[in-house]
Structure formats: structure tokens, C-alpha cells
Amino acid sequence: MLIRKQWLAVVRGDRWIVAKVARRKLKLDILHIAEYHAPIEYKTLGDEGESLEKNLSIEEKDPEVKLPLGGTKTDLLKTWLHNNHVPINKLRIAISCPGVITRMITLPLLANHDLDKLLTDQVEQYFTLNISDYVVDYRLLERFSEEGELRQRVLLAAIPKYHWERLWSEWREIGIQPKVVDLAADSLARLYSKLTSKDLLKANVETETSLDLAIVDMNSERVEFILLEHGVFFLYSDIEVSLDGLDQVKNALSSLSVGHENGHPEETDDDLQTAKLQAWAKKEIETALQNVLQSLANFFSFFAARHFGKTLDFIYLTGEYSDLPYLEEIFQSNLDISTQVGFPNAWRPRFNRRTKTFQKYGMKYGSLYGIAMREG
């Protein structure tokens, strides 16, 4: 059986995750993984184009990073990629940036060159904005028959030109020539679509089509929403939030757990205090997510309006902040849709001995797993 080894990266602004993986069908082994966050000091100076030779705090924080004197912002990233032995011309990259707009359109079945010409010369007809400010790409989602005619669904993705040019400028400076560039949201959609394929749902013999799903990718500065209609990408949106303030909630609950484990009477025997802390934590999380929940409610209403009132079957929560407590309860009670943190069918990748420490953060790497599932 063919085992594909590949190098992957997910890029969110100045944050990178790179990994070397081996895949066989839906089995995924994480052979190497590393994360990069541009240090604040470096980011500020680098953005202004100043030399960093006086900024010694960077090497003090990470002794393995040897920054050349007079280096630019890109030098640190280039050094980090080199230290992780990343083959920069073999990377398959998924990007996530604000302002992405998607459209799902249905067209008659066309030859590839005719489809490409149509979506190059006349793409503006599918958007209500000034498309010259965006870079537009497309992906064929599916071919199907409708009323005896062959048709095809196509996903259009418009990325703000500013973000696209900034990314490519940095990549050119480093020497990166990616094999594939994908949207992180599309990678997530691919992963969940494969994992909820009707072919895998053997336990439910009545299932004739894949379910309608919402995927909520929860990260510190943005939450992204993807809707799948019978396993096919249907709609995408995002909302800017600030979830890092909830770290104190997680820390407070973690200290409570430690108290229970250590058996400190003064910390664990007062059930009333414990209940108050848990109630406070749940309220803080629910309050922080109000804009997210409202946006999702509007999103779901849009879906229902186009499906004769039918709502979605399931919500999946993933991403950096999907490990917050009470999430399933909060989403389910506010949106009245069954909700689960994690991946369908108890799927998970395998981390080897060298990458085992990253396993507890596995939920934040969904886009990485999704681009690994991309064929070609």
C-alpha cells in the first residue's frame, strides 16, 4: 500500500506550523512538527525595516536561533525553517487570512480550458465587490446530473490582494516555491468531508448521503466557520475575536483540577466555592463567545432558508481554543444543534516518539491534517 510522505505548512499571519507526515488513505503519522511565532520585539522592528543586531532578547529566548547581524524580519523565519530541515521547494501550504470571500456556483459541464477561461475573464459577475482588489482562484467541487443535464459545482475563493502579495513577497525572499497553496478552511472542509463520508458511516445503514455539517475553527484572533452540504463545501465566513483572554479561565480551572489531584482539603472540600468557580468560568466563556454564537445563528438561518427550513445535522469544534471547557454544552444550548469537540468517528493522527509532546495540542492542527489529505 502506497505511503505518501510530505512536508506541510499552515500560515496564519506571522505564525507558522510545519510538519512532515506520512499518509496512507485516512491514516496519518506525524513524523516531525514545529511551530513558529514571530517574537513581538522582532516583528515590530522588522516591520519598520530596522536592523535587529541590538535586539539580543531573541537569541536569549531561543538559543538555537542564530540571527545574522543586520538581519531582516524574514531572516529569522528563514533560519527557523533551516533549523527544522524544511525543504522549502516541497512545501504544501495552507493559508488563513482575514477578508477571504467564497462563492459556490453551479455551471453547465465545461471542458477544463473553457471553465478556466470563463472564471478568468468573467469572474467579476459572481461577486458584488471590486474584484480587482482580490486574487481569485477556484476549485471544482463535484459533477452531478440535474434534470438530465450534466452540471458542476465550483468553489470560488477571493483573497485580498494585499495579503496575497505580502505572503508571496516573503516567500520569494526566503526562496519558497510551494508545490500547493490551499485555503486553511478548504483543508478543514476536506478533512471533515472525508471523515464523514457515507462510505465510513457503516453503523447507520439508513444513511444515503453525507450529513450537513458546520465546522467551527476557534483560534485566538479569529474564528472561522465552514458549512458542508452533504460533505461538499457550501459556505465560509470568519469573525475577528479575542479569545486569548480566556486563558485565565483555563488556568483557574486547571488549578482547581490540580487541587483535586493533590487532595488539598482547603481547595477541594468546599463544594460551594468549586461550584461558583465553575459557574463563573462557564459564564465567562459564553460571554466571550456571544458574537461567535450570533454569527453562527445568522449563518445557519441562511443555510435553512436555502434548504426549505432544514437546519444542519451537526457542529464540530476544532482549533486552538476548542479545548475550553463547557463548549459543547454552550454551543448546543444556544444553537440547538448537536455539537462535538474533535474529529468524526474518533479519528486522530498518530504522533511518533519524537512528536508525542505535541499530541495534546492535536486539535489545533486540523488544517494541517486536511492539506495532507489533498490528492495531487
Q: What is the pLDDT of residues 288-344, one digit of tens each?
A: 999 999 999 999 999 999 999 999 999 999 999 999 999 999 999 999 999 999 999
Q: Which domain holds residue 325?
A: 4-37+91-241+289-372
Contacts of 367 (CB under 8 A, 6+ apart): 10, 94, 96, 184, 185, 187, 188, 217
CA-closest candidate to residue 226, choices 213, 209, 239: 213
Instruction: Report how many helices (DSSP H) and strands (DSSP E) the chain contains, helices first.
Output: 12, 14
232, 142 contact by CB (below 8 A): yes
By three-state DSSP, how is residue 309 classified?
Answer: coil
Asked if the structure places residue 80 within a domain, the reply is no
One domain, residues 192 and 281: no
One domain, residues 120 and 167: yes
Q: What is the pLDDT of residues 21-67, one digit of tens each?
A: 999 999 999 999 999 998 765 543 333 333 333 333 333 344 444 54
One domain, residues 133 and 276: no
Asked if the model's pLDDT at residue 211 lies above 70, the reply is yes
Average pLDDT, the chain: 86
145, 151 contact by CB (below 8 A): yes
Whole-Å CA distances, 234 to 227, 293, 338, 372: 5, 19, 19, 21
Domain count of the fold of the chain: 2
CA distance 215 to 197: 15
One domain, residues 20 and 148: yes
One domain, residues 322 and 183: yes
One domain, residues 131 and 256: no
What percent of the chain has pLDDT above 90?
A: 73
97, 160 contact by CB (below 8 A): yes
* Secondary structure element (H or E) that encloses residue 311, with its range: none
One domain, residues 135 and 180: yes
Whole-Å CA distances, 334 to 287, 322, 329: 12, 17, 8
**What CATH number did the domain enclosing 354 receive?**
3.30.420.40
One domain, residues 262 and 151: no
107, 126 contact by CB (below 8 A): no
Asked if the model's pLDDT at residue 237 lies above 80, the reply is yes
Q: Of 231, 266, 286, at which residue does a domain stop?
A: 286
